[in-house]
């Protein structure tokens, strides 16, 4: 597990809402949350996407997490500017390591992980720890739960891991090396390799 250096942190916190707004618009075309949905975000950065999703889809609970306590503080500052009268009751923040999520199994209807899976090792292209992070996502996600992520490294291997566990790739968009994917967990315990194909590919 690796925390970002000060320069990377500076750029993550500099981000305006443009990227997360586009991400949310793209996702909301395909993402279906059940009533009273409980959502988890890992590696939430400045928390901007959390605000878009909470405002747009009104889950009952949205827990935005990050490994780095300084990042959680930065997200609190950013969110307090977006919500000057206090955070929505659904929204909460806490530290958590994606390699050992401190939540029981089957806790969430959706998990979000944008530009974070490549942080599982100090060498960002190293796939060794990514399956551990994906297994943690899979453990905390309920059957038929949604896993939305974006990354630019190991993208084929990540998709292969998911489809190998019977996730369906419900939506996907690729721009250069960067992929954004919405994968839906099977309703039953996976046993076989799925040959699910993306059902839609739209511009982000």
Ligand X SMILES: C[S@@+](CC[C@H](N)C(=O)[O-])C[C@H]1O[C@@H](n2cnc3c(N)ncnc32)[C@H](O)[C@@H]1O
Cα–Cα distance for residue pair 128/46, rounded to 1 Å: 27
For the bound state, the minimum distance from the C-beta of residue 68 to ligand X, rounded and expressed in Å, comes to: 4
The residue number whose beta carbon is nearest to ligand X equals 45
Q: Does 114 bind ligand X (CB under 6 A)?
A: yes
Cα–Cα distance for residue pair 20/1, rounded to 1 Å: 24
Q: Does 98 bind ligand X (CB under 6 A)?
A: yes
- What the block records as the tokens of 36 is 């009273």
For the bound state, the minimum distance from the C-beta of residue 192 to ligand X, rounded and expressed in Å, comes to: 30
Phi-psi map region of 92: left, alpha, beta (phi>0 left; psi -120 to 50 alpha): beta
Contact 183, 190 (CB under 8 A): no
Q: Does 121 bind ligand X (CB under 6 A)?
A: no
* Binding window for ligand X (CB under 6 A); candidates: 30-38, 51-59, 62-70, 168-176: 62-70
Q: Does 3 bind ligand X (CB under 6 A)?
A: yes
Q: Does 45 bind ligand X (CB under 6 A)?
A: yes
Of 67 and 181, the one with the shorter C-beta distance to ligand X is 67
When binding is defined by CB under 6 A, the residue of 43, 63, 109, 171 that contacts ligand X is 43
| Site residues for ligand X per CB under 6 A | 1-4, 12, 15, 42-45, 66-68, 71, 97-99, 114-116, 119
């Amino acid at each position: 597990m690796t925390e970002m250096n000060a320069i990377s942190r500076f750029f993550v916190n500099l981000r305006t809402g443009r990227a997360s707004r586009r991400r949310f618009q793209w996702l909301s075309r395909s993402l279906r949350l059940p009533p009273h949905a409980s959502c988890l975000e890992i590696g939430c950065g400045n928390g901007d996407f959390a605000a878009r999703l909470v405002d747009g889809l009104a889950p009952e609970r949205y827990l935005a997490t990050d490994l780095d306590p300084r990042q959680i503080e930065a997200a609190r500052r950013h969110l307090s500017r977006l919500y000057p009268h206090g955070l929505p009751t659904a929204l909460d923040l806490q530290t958590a390591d994606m390699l050992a999520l401190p939540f029981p199994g089957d806790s969430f209807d959706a998990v979000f992980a944008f530009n974070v899976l490549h942080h599982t090792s100090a060498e960002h292209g190293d796939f060794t720890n990514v399956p551990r992070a994906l297994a943690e996502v899979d453990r905390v996600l309920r059957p038929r739960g949604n896993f939305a992520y974006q990354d630019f490294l190991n993208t084929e291997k990540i998709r292969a891991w998911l489809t190998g566990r019977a996730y369906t790739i419900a939506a996907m968009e690729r721009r250069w090396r960067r992929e954004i994917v919405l994968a839906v967990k099977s309703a039953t315990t996976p046993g076989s390799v799925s040959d699910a194909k993306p059902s839609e590919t739209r511009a982000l």
